[in-house]
Chains A and B, each alone.
Chain A
C-alpha cells in the first residue's frame, strides 16, 4: 500500500498550507523504558515491542480503539534516507522466531509489521517512508489532510544495538568516500563549520556550555529521557568542559547518545479530534528542505543560507512571524545545530552570531526564553521525539514540571540537519 507520493512542501513559494489548522496531533505515547541499546535477548524490549507499546499508549492517550485506526505512517528506521540506525542485527547473527525472523521488528519497524502485530482491522493506508520525526509528522499531516486516511497511527522507532556503529574498516574509498576517507574526513565536517562560526562571530566552544547544561536539566524532567531513567543527576558546566574531543570543536557532550526507544503519535482531522480525549494541537504547516554543498564540504555560508531558506519557507507556509512563536524547539543532534536553526528563525529576535549570547542569558524553563524546554537530544538521548512531544504538551498545558511560565499557544520545531530539514508549526487554535 505504500507508494511514492509527492507530499513535501519544498518548492518556493510554498504558500499557506492548504490544510492549515484542519489536521491535528491528538495523542502521544512512548515506550515506558528508554534503553541504551537492545541486549539481544529480551524479546519484550525489542524495537518492535517498544513501538507497539508506544502505539498502545498513544491510542490510550487519544482515547481511540484499534478499530478507529485507518492509517499507519511510520519511519521504518527512524533515520534520513530510510536508513536504520547502526548496523543490522543479521546476517552475522541468527534471527529469532516470528515476528523477529527478519530485520523488521529488530532494527527497523515497518507499518506492515505494526499493523500485523497490533491486529488493526481497518487500516487502509500504510507508508513507512517518514524518515526523521519532523518529516514523518509532515508526511502524516499531509496524507490525513489529503484524505488518504483519517485516524493515523504515526510510530517513530529509534534503535541501538551493541557495538560502536558507523565504524568503517575499509581500506578502499569508493563512491562518495573517495573524496573524504583518504583524508580521514568525517565528523570533522561539524567541527569545521563550528570553527568557521567561532571565527566569524568571535566565540568559542566553551560558550556552548550554558545551552547544553540547560538542556540536560530540562531533559531530567521528561520521564522518557534516557538520562532521567539512567543518569538522573545534574550535568554541570565542569562536566561539559571536560568532555573528550571527537572532532574539534565537537566534544562527546555535543553528540547525542544513541538509545533504544519507541514513540507514537495520533494524527487526525480537527473534526474527528472533537470526539477524542485530549485537547488537539493544530498543525499549521509542514515544510521541508534538502541541499547539497557546492563542492566537497558544507561551509558556514551553506549552513546559514540553507537554514535561512528553510526558516523563510516555514514562515511563508504557516503565516507566522518570529514574534508569534512561544515554544521553539530547534534540533540539537549535534548541539551546534541549534544555534544555526535559532539564528535562522530569529526566535526572540536572535540574529546571526548571537546564539551564544542569547543562551548565556536566562534560558531556564521558568524564564522568558525557554529554548528546547523538553531537553532536546542532549537531555533525553537520541530519540528525537521530545521535539514533538514537548511542544505538544506545552501547548496542551500538560508538560508537568517542564511547563513553561510563558504563554504557550504557538510552537515551531525544526530538524534534523541544516542540509536536510523539516519544520512543523503547531497551535492551540486552528486559526
Chain B
C-alpha cells in the first residue's frame, strides 16, 4: 500500500538518514540533559541550539495505549482501514513517543504494556521509517 512518505527537512534529515541505517536517534540537549523528539531547531527547555546533539536510542519501548482508525482523513490510508495506531514510550525516557501500526498484530489486539523493539520498514525505494514489533 502506498503510504505518505516523510519528506526530510534541514532539521529532520539526520533522523531520516539514521533510519535508513536502521538506527533510531533522538535529539539530546547536553546542557539540559533532555531528550527531544520530534527534532526541533532549538532545545525547548533552554532555547539554545548549540547544545543539541543526536543520540542513538535503545530502540526499545513500551506500548502505552492505542486507537484504531476506521475513518482516516489521510486518503492513502483509507484502503487499510481499520488499522492499529499504537503509541510507544521510549524505554530510557518514557516521555518520548513514537507511533506504530504494529504490523502483524490483529486490529484491536494491541497488548498495552508490552515491550516492543524498533524495526524499520520501507515506505519508498530510499526511505525506511521506524516501526515496532512486540518482543516475545
Contact = CB atoms under 8 A, between A and B. Distances in A.
Nearest to B107: A248
B99 A183 contact: yes
Contact of A247 (B65, B71, B76, B123): B71
A248 B67 CA distance: 5
Nearest to B8: A178
A175 B77 CA distance: 19
B112 A199 contact: yes
Nearest to A194: B67
Given A167-B75, A182-B6, A297 B87 contact: yes
A182 B82 contact: no
Given A184-B80, A295-B96, A166 B4 contact: no
B37 interface: yes
Interface in B61-97: 64-77, 80, 82-83, 85, 87, 95-97
A171 B82 CA distance: 19
Contacts of B97: 295-297, 299
A192 B67 contact: yes
B35 to A, nearest CB: 9
Contacts of A81: none
B2 interface: yes
B75 A172 contact: no
Contacts of A187: 67, 69, 71-73
Contact of B73 (A166, A199, A249): A166
Nearest to B26: A295
Select the residue from A185, A199, A299 with max chain B CB neighbours within 10 A.
Answer: A185
B71 A297 contact: no
B20 interface: no
Contacts of B123: 182
B70 A247 contact: yes
Contacts of B44: 292
A180 interface: yes
A181 interface: yes
A295 B100 CA distance: 15
Interface residues of A, number: 46
A168 B74 contact: yes
Contacts of B64: 196, 299
Contact of A245 (B71, B73, B96): B71
Contact of A244 (B9, B69, B71): B71
B38 to A, nearest CB: 5
Nearest to A198: B65
B57 interface: no
Contacts of B95: 294-295
A183 B88 CA distance: 12
Contacts, number: 140
Interface string A153-175: 00000000000001111111111
A184 B72 contact: yes
Given A171-B76, A186-B73, A191 B67 contact: yes
A294 B34 CA distance: 11
B75 A183 contact: no
Contacts of B75: 167-169
Given A184-B85, A296-B99, A192 B5 contact: no
B46 to A, nearest CB: 15
Contacts of B6: 173, 178-179, 182
Contacts of A178: 6-9, 12
B76 A245 contact: no
Interface string A177-220: 11111111111111111111001000000000000000000000
B41 to A, nearest CB: 13
Contacts of A292: 44
Given A171-B4, A192-B65, A195-B66, A183 B73 contact: no
A368 B80 CA distance: 47
A177 B4 contact: yes
Contacts of A296: 37-38, 87, 97-99
B67 A195 contact: yes
Given A168-B75, A246-B71, A180 B99 contact: yes
A188 B65 contact: no
Given A182-B129, A183-B100, A296-B98, A172 B4 contact: yes
Contacts of A185: 85, 99
A31 B112 CA distance: 48
Given A185-B99, A187-B72, A244-B70, 17 more contacts: A167-B75, A171-B5, A172-B7, A173-B7, A178-B7, A181-B3, A182-B6, A184-B74, A184-B77, A195-B66, A199-B65, A245-B71, A247-B69, A247-B85, A250-B67, A297-B97, A299-B65
24 contacts: A170-B76, A171-B5, A172-B4, A172-B7, A174-B9, A176-B38, A177-B4, A179-B99, A182-B3, A183-B85, A184-B83, A184-B101, A187-B73, A192-B85, A192-B87, A199-B65, A245-B71, A247-B67, A248-B67, A294-B96, A295-B37, A296-B87, A296-B98, A299-B87
Interface of A: 166-196, 199, 244-250, 292, 294-297, 299-300
4 closest residue pairs by CB, A with B: A191-B67, A188-B67, A188-B85, A184-B77
